[in-house]
Structure 1
Amino acid sequence: MTTTEPAASRLPVDTGAWGARHAHDPTAVRDDEGTYWLFSTDAYGDGPLPRAGVQVRRSADLVTWEFHGWALDGVPADAAAWAGAEGLWAPDVVRVPDDVDVPADERWRMYYSASSFGSRTSAIGLATAPHPAGPWQDRGLVVTSRHEADGPNAIDANAVVDDAGRHWLVYGSFFGGIHALELDPGTGFVIGSGGRPRPGPGLLLARRPHEVEAAVEGAFVLRRPGGGWVLLSSFDSLFDTYHLRVVAGPQPVGPYRDLLGRSATDVAADPVGSAVLAGHRFAGGPGRLAPGHASVLTEPLRDGRERHLLVHHVRDAADPHQHEVQVRRIVWTADGWPLVSPQPWAGAVEQDDDATWPASPAGLAGTWEVVTFARGDVLTDAVPRAVVAADLAGLVAHGAGRFTWNRPGGGAPVEVVVFPSWDAVRHRAALSFAALDTGTGMVSVGTQVAPTGVPAPVGGAR
């Protein structure tokens, strides 16, 4: 057991200057006082790992992050003995629901992963705490896997509670795909295991063919407004081609299908799911490479609605060894598909009242910078597009920023969400959009750089 804030003098690096940098595979929670806590993989883009035990940061606004220390005192003994891990990966932190009777010092749970690159000898462990700040107490291993045994890789945990109150652990990376095991709500261990480590696999939720190294991982299950669930997961190589795709299902354990009806377990249909976030670059801004391994922070709003924020890591295209955490708004189409803002979350300047979002096509004409994720595995440059009044004639408004665009020449409609954002290149308020082509499942995103009658800035000039 340890608290955070280790003595800085004992470390070979200045963690006080890290901020959002070096955060990989992040998950964020908010405590009862309104402080945000970020937990992430033991990673360091500038050299050897200075310390292990799950990195912890805190923030008042999800924009500026202060490094807070490590949750655990290194790799717990059982995890080190099983996997030989030098650091811990991909923590998932959740608050146990109030209707579950647990001791006060076990109200918060953290599922951490212990493994090494390219190995399926892995483990997911459990730690508990009374508060996200700690102190965290290791409780032992929950799920294990061996490299020589066919099946899922026991890393990348995501704990979720379904509508019936059943608790599930969604997990897996590459190899055998994404699976789910039912948990005992009171202990956090696999149901019926008696608190002992349990091998998988559990229920199969998603997989990819071996021809692409079965490259799917970092799954996160999110309740869908209006009913059902979505599964967000990262495809391909975390170093350059990483990107985020989405499928939907009736329960957290599936079955999951994409917008076109293809099953997430159908390897012949690969790649399944719509790419909602991938490498991109806006004019005048940095290249954002390989975004992914996302979690979602769900927060209640004063009017009874919820806000969903995607928390993910991203690499610097100019120096891919450098990675940092970013937060982005999730918006929902009129028919309930999640899309991701092209702009990072900007804190207090963001507008949460979607009743004030564009309710009609008025004001949508102008010059937009648009990125289409035609292929999720490449870095795509934004292109300027002029939108005139005639282009908006096919828009059907649903209110609160939601539109359906019926193409003038016919064909499948496009579901569009238009919303206020903060242009991170020009440092000003601007409209952004995210759109889903219902005929292809392809996603486009963009930001308005000049309304009609206003000259468009050149090269992202401020």
Structure 2
Amino acid sequence: MTEIEAAPASTGGAAGEALPDPATWGARNSHDPTAVRDDDGVYWLFSTDADADGPLRSSGAQIRRSTDLVSWEFVGCALDGVPAPARAHAGAEGLWAPDVVRVETAAGVQWRMYYSASSFGSRTSAIGLAVAPHPAGPWEDRGIVVATVHDRDGHNAIDAQLVIDGARHHLAYGSFFGGLHLLEIDPATGFALDAPAPGAPASSPGTLIARRPRSVDTAIEGPFILPRPGGGWALIVSYDSLVSTYHVRVAVAEDLYGPYVDPDGHEMTDLDADPLTVGLTVLASHQLEGGRGVLAPGHASVLTEPGHQLLVHHTRFVDQPRQHEVQVRRLVWTQEGWPLVSIQPWGGSHEDDDEAAWPSDVAALRGDWEIVDLGGPTDQVAPARRVTVDDAALAGLVPHGRGRFTRSGDAPVDAVVFPAWDTVRGRETLAFAARGPRGTVVVGTAVPEGAVG
């Protein structure tokens, strides 16, 4: 959640005009989302207190539920407003960017929510902890885990994510200002290991893992760290302006505490390299043929389930830039261990998780595709364009099974090809995500023969 979002987002409503009932929102007004699945298979989405149609009517971290990650039902807020300690410290009117995690404790299963409380343009912020026996609640506030003060601290206590690494817990957090940090958490209490007293805020910011220079307004936020297949870690972050140029980049590290580097070897803490080139862009503004223009997607979390991982994020739209909603996309890992993202939103029951059946023959890739190059300027909406993949284009491509393909040499490729649901055409298709030359990502969708662009 950036400082921009704290500003009023009202677009409407003439004086006295009734605002839409939250029961009709569905996926709309979901901002900085995270999704979890309960033991009965129901999905619960937690997000920032936001209402693009007018002032907040309630606060306490919005909750939605779903059975398919496609259709969402708004069910209210986790807490009854901003908890008193966080409100007293930050003066916040609503909660931002809740992160919810299922934790096994000595007393049994506990759901923990790390929420943020702050105000526009301020480093006087707090990350608080609430707990519940179930995602539906009841939620009980436990107090402040990390606190920052604008005139004292260089970092900012918002945008938390709990990272569980075996028996050890860690909290990634931060936004703009002093960058992103990581500190260790006591698994028993959910508070920082270096807290000076039980239930007190952390005494240090932890380890710096990513930042950006002042030349780009230090615009980085929303960290999410997840393990890489085969070892190591990947860091997912959002760059730039929330309402126009927002986009998602990734970097990887051998150690949880870094350094996190992009494919060109730039560290995510590097202030000397060109800030427009640090990090690998995996999702940005784009428009598919016949589809709605997606604007400024970002603040992503990852839902990991048997058979798939899903990037959960909010987005705006070209035709309604102040509106925002949750979208879900498949996250895939390339042969060389990079996390990439499907250009197609998640299709629910239409999706196929059997990786053993994903393409293993380069011949399956022949044909027409619409592709989007994510290597361009992020202040533009990248358009889809048609290409025909023939034998010449496939030359040198090596299959590794389960949809993974690579090519070395002057035109390197590290790609994943997988089944997807074409949301524009309403049909099954293939999609791909590929890391190619120049450290950029290209994504796309197979086009049926005879389809009109």
- When normalised by structure 2's length, the TM-score is 0.93
Give the 3-state SS of the residue equivalent to 2:362 in structure 1: coil
Contact 1:404–1:416 (CA under 8 A) maintained in structure 2: yes
Give the 3-state SS of the residue equivalent to 1:268 in structure 2: coil
Contact 1:359–1:397 (CA under 8 A) maintained in structure 2: yes
2:323 is aligned to 322
Partner Cα separation in structure 1 for residue 58 and residue 256 of structure 2: 35
Is 1:33 aligned to residue 40 of structure 2?
yes
Is 1:148 aligned to residue 148 of structure 2?
no
Contact 1:243–1:376 (CA under 8 A) maintained in structure 2: no
Contact 1:151–1:201 (CA under 8 A) maintained in structure 2: no
Counterpart amino acid of 2:367?
G
After superposing the two structures, state which structure 1 stretch, 38-47 or 191-200, moved more: 191-200
Contact 1:278–1:376 (CA under 8 A) maintained in structure 2: no
Shift of 1:440: 2.1
Contact 1:152–1:200 (CA under 8 A) maintained in structure 2: no
1:4 is aligned to none
Partner Cα separation in structure 1 for residue 183 and residue 248 of structure 2: 23
2:304 is aligned to 298
Counterpart amino acid of 1:361?
V
1:217 is aligned to 221
1:270-300: CA deviations, max 9, x gaps?
2411000000001111000000000000112
Partner Cα separation in structure 1 for residue 392 and residue 176 of structure 2: 46
Partner Cα separation in structure 2 for residue 174 and residue 72 of structure 1: 27
Counterpart amino acid of 1:237?
S
Computed over aligned residues only, the root mean square deviation of the Cα atoms, in angstroms, reads 1.4
Counterpart amino acid of 1:231?
L
Is 1:278 aligned to residue 287 of structure 2?
no
Shift of 1:425: 0.8
Give the 3-state SS of the residue equivalent to 2:439 in structure 1: coil
1:8 is aligned to none
Q: Superposed, which structure 2 residues align to 1:151-190 within 5 Å?
A: 151-163=154-166, 165-190=167-192
Shift of 1:171: 0.3
1:55 is aligned to 62
Counterpart amino acid of 1:36?
Y
1:263 is aligned to 267
Is 1:115 aligned to residue 118 of structure 2?
yes
1:374 is aligned to 375
Counterpart amino acid of 2:245?
T
Shift of 1:436: 0.2
**Runs of 5+ consecutive residues of structure 1 not aligned to the other structure:** 1-10, 302-306
Shift of 1:147: 1.1
Shift of 1:192: 3.5
Partner Cα separation in structure 2 for residue 447 and residue 274 of structure 1: 21
Contact 1:144–1:199 (CA under 8 A) maintained in structure 2: no
Equivalent residue for 2:92, pick from 85, 95, 99: 85
Give the 3-state SS of the residue equivalent to 1:61 in structure 2: coil
Contact 2:300–2:313 (CA under 8 A) maintained in structure 1: yes
Partner Cα separation in structure 1 for residue 42 and residue 135 of structure 2: 10
Shift of 1:13: 4.3
Contact 1:273–1:441 (CA under 8 A) maintained in structure 2: no
Give the direction of change, closer, same or farther, for the CA distance of 1:200–1:151 in structure 2 (3 Å limit). Answer: farther
Partner Cα separation in structure 1 for residue 427 and residue 20 of structure 2: 35
Partner Cα separation in structure 2 for residue 311 and residue 291 of structure 1: 10
Give the 3-state SS of the residue equivalent to 2:155 in structure 1: coil
Shift of 1:412: 4.8
Partner Cα separation in structure 1 for residue 376 and residue 54 of structure 2: 32
Shift of 1:150: 3.7
Shift of 1:405: 3.0
Counterpart amino acid of 2:374?
F
Partner Cα separation in structure 2 for residue 147 and residue 379 of structure 1: 35
Contact 2:374–2:442 (CA under 8 A) maintained in structure 1: yes
Shift of 1:162: 2.0
- When normalised by structure 1's length, the TM-score is 0.91
2:444 is aligned to 446
1:20-42: CA deviations, max 9, x gaps?
00000000000111110000000
2:6 is aligned to none
Give the direction of change, closer, same or farther, for the CA distance of 1:268–1:389 in structure 2 (3 Å limit). Answer: same
Counterpart amino acid of 1:120?
R
Q: Superposed, which structure 2 residues align to 1:342-357 within 5 Å?
A: 342-357=343-358
Contact 1:217–1:234 (CA under 8 A) maintained in structure 2: yes
1:97-138: CA deviations, max 9, x gaps?
x3x42x45x711000000112111100000000000100001
1:301-339: CA deviations, max 9, x gaps?
4xxxxx210000000111111100000001111111110
Partner Cα separation in structure 1 for residue 83 and residue 203 of structure 2: 19
Aligned length: 431
Shift of 1:198: 2.5
Counterpart amino acid of 2:414?
E
